[in-house]
Amino acid sequence: MKLELRGITKVFGSLVANDHIDLVVEPGEIHCLLGENGAGKSTLMNTLYGLLKADDGEILLDDVPQHFAGPGDAMRAGIGMVHQHFMLVPVFTVAENVMLGHEPNRGGFLSLNVARARVREISDRFGFEVDPDAVVEDLPVGVQQRVEIIKALSRDAKVLVFDEPTAVLTPQETDELMGIMKQLRDEGTAIVFITHKLREVREVADRITVIRLGKVVGEAEPTATNAELAGLMVGRAVNLTVEKEPATPGADALVVKDLTVVDPLGHVTVDDISFTVRAGEVLAVAGVQGNGQTELTEALLGLQPHVAGAIELNGRSLIGLTTGEVLDSGVGFIPEDRQVDALVAEFSVAENLMLDRSDGAPFVKGGTVQASVLTEFARVAMRDFDVRAESADTHVGRLSGGNQQKVVLARELSRDLKLFVAAQPTRGLDVGSIEFVHKRIIAARDEGVPVVVVSTELDEVTALADRIAVMYRGRIVGIVPGDVSRDVLGLMMAGELPPGVDAAHATTEGAQQ
């Protein structure tokens, strides 16, 4: 089925999210829609899927104009969509999720067996290995995404939209998804692939359309270089490497000694680790997700109740302090999940910028918010951190992921910091936003702030780190210089030590760099 969008326009107040966009996707083609977060990609696809109504333009399938009142109409017309944030009911089984809103029945009764058979049929066809009776919340993230694909295919989708589908996947799961997309394409499905990850674009795209600030700004071939694609996305040359001078570390600032964290079930998640971070340096914590990194950052912030050992910042113990007291002591924090732990979606940009300081000066006096002070602070912060929103009164939940992260950065880095902890600081961000975040992290380091960066992205770790601590099963395998090879890091992330390097040598050597 051929998809054509003609002159699609969507406006939110004074913000033109889509500005007369034209797009053609042929059957048996993977057409990549590339652009920064906030460029208008998801808005365009939500309009296609009936979640939003266009203010102007038309949608055609096989040259026939379509009028969708909602997603049901789009699905019946043969359009399926796999969302970045899964649209699944966690406590339902796979079959129940697949039949939801599309309930097969026999004689007026729901037929779960029909849904089970459909799941098995599609799963076998694509080698998904998905159990129709498995409860969704018990499935790994990669398998949950397969369930989303099965949902779309069970309704005979001829046009399939993937909206940032790899944001929550491991590299191995991403490679598997690329293979699935190619198989769907080869069977004649028209695929729209929304992403900002350049490697993925070059891996699977047959054609590439680039959107910037709501407009189509060009098309590119998959043979285009990363620099060329990035330049089209952001409208300027983008430096895909982090430029930084060698660190000039000062005295030990953060000292962690014999730290152990135990979860509510009694499992040791952080196992007797020790390290230091000096003023003016970046210590990156590397490792495969799930090896204790999350619990480590939570322990630093006072978010873990069962902690043993010592955490000292400039000689002051942080053990036993509340999270508010830790923040008040001069710790800035970017949590792993900005939407859940860093922002209140229903609050405005300005209100989110004062979350850490909502009980006193400069924003609150005598129990009353000083509106003029907050407004001016928000104006300057939005300018300095390039937050793109209609105004400081815009609900932060309406912003793109990159702009949401800039709000978090603006809030945390606009204080006098004694320590900055950034957990997965660029997860789900585009190249332009990643470049911005990295520059701000290095700027904080260069101002003398000790920085801890926790990331599962090796490129990010090696780009930012002055030293790297590698975690495996809750322990630190070793601490090595920031310019160590990826091969060495890969071995350490698997719990192995490279030939000629022992744990003590790695820790000592790394500490002296």
CATH of the domain at 29: 3.40.50.300
In this structure, the strands spanning 159-163 and 215-220 are unpaired
In a domain, 241, yes or no: no
pLDDT at 5: 97
d(CA 431, CA 199): 11
Quick one: 18 and 148 in the same domain?
yes
pLDDT of residue 513: 43
Work out the pLDDT band at 337, boundaries 50, 70, 90. Answer: confident
Per-residue pLDDT for 457 more than 90? no
d(CA 283, CA 335) in angstroms, rounded, equals 16
Q: What is the pLDDT of residue 412?
A: 93
Q: Which pair of structure tokens corresponds to residue 383?
A: 């300018």
172, pLDDT greater than 70:
no
> What is the mean pLDDT of the segment spanning 352-378?
87
- Calpha distance 451→55 (Å, rounded): 46
Q: Are residues 213 and 278 in the same domain?
A: no
pLDDT at 254: 98
Q: Has residue 336 been placed in a domain?
A: yes
Same domain, 263 and 410: yes
331-335, 366-370, 391-395, 486-490: the lowest-pLDDT one = 486-490
The position carrying tokens 């004649």 is 188
Residues with Cβ within 8 Å of 501's Cβ and at least 6 positions away in sequence, in order, are 478, 480, 488
* Structure confidence at residue 510 as a pLDDT band (50, 70, 90): very low
Instruction: Specify if 244 maps to a domain.
Output: no
- Sign, CA dihedral 43-54-204-1, equals positive
* Token pair of 171 as six digits: 């590299």
Burial letters 34-53, b for 16+ CB under 10 A, else e = bbbbbbbbbbbbbbbbbbbe
Note whether 420 and 378 are same-domain residues: yes
Q: What ranges in 265-348 are assigned the alpha helix state H?
A: 293-300, 323-328
Beta bridge mates, 472? 475
Q: Is 446 left (phi over 0), alpha (psi -120 to 50) or beta?
A: alpha
Alpha-carbon distances of 231 from 209, 226, 384, 425, 427, rounded to whole Å? 13, 8, 22, 22, 21
Distance, in Å, from the CA atom of 49 to the CA atom of 52, rounded to the nearest integer, reads 8
Residue 247 lies in a domain: no
Asked if the model's pLDDT at residue 509 lies above 50, the reply is no
Residue 508 DSSP class:
H
pLDDT at 508: 40
Residue 456 has pLDDT above 90, yes or no: no
Residues 256 and 230 in one domain: no
189 occurs within a structural domain: yes
142 and 201 co-located in one domain: yes
Residue partners of 204: CB distance under 8 A and separation at least 6: 30, 32, 178, 181, 182, 193
Confidence band, pLDDT 50/70/90 cuts, at residue 512: very low
CA distances from 476 to 224, 313, 377, 411, 438 (A): 40, 20, 40, 31, 24
Average pLDDT over the chain reads: 88
- C-alpha 430, offset from chain centre: 9
- My answer on whether 211 and 264 are in the same domain is no
Residue among 155, 213, 159 at smallest CA distance from 31? 159
Based on the domain organization, do 179 and 52 belong to the same domain?
Answer: yes
* Of 498 and 437, more confident: 437
pLDDT at 504 over 60: no
3-state DSSP assignment of residue 472:
strand
| pLDDT attached to residue 170 | 57
Tokens read off for 255: 């000292």
Which residue shows structure tokens 């022992």? 502
130: containing domain: 3-234
483 lies in the same domain as 438 = yes
- Whether residue 240 lies inside any domain: the answer is no
pLDDT higher than 50, residue 230: yes
Say what the pLDDT of residue 219 is: 93
Instruction: Assess if residue 26 is contained within a domain.
Output: yes
Block residue for tokens 């964290």:
261
Q: pLDDT grade, residue 27 (50/70/90)?
A: very high
Do 224 and 275 belong to one domain? no
pLDDT, one tens digit per residue, over 66-102 is: 999 999 899 999 999 988 777 899 999 999 999 887 7
Q: For residues 157 and 75, is the Cβ–Cβ distance under 8 A?
A: yes
Rg (CA), the chain: 24
Return the HEC string of 64-130: EEECCCCHHHHHHCCEEEECCCCCCCCCCEHHHHHHCCCCCEECCEECHHHHHHHHHHHHHHHCCCC
69-83, 288-302, 380-394, 489-503: range with lowest mean pLDDT: 489-503
- The reply to whether 413 falls in a domain is yes
Report the candidate in 8, 2, 64 with the shortest Cα–Cα distance to residue 31.
Answer: 2
Whole-number Å distance between alpha carbons of 406 and 388 = 9
Domains: count for the chain? 2
| The predicted structure's pLDDT at residue 216 | 95
Residues 428, 339: contact at Cβ < 8 Å?
no
Closest CA to 3 of 45, 54, 41: 45
The overall pTM is greater than 0.85: no
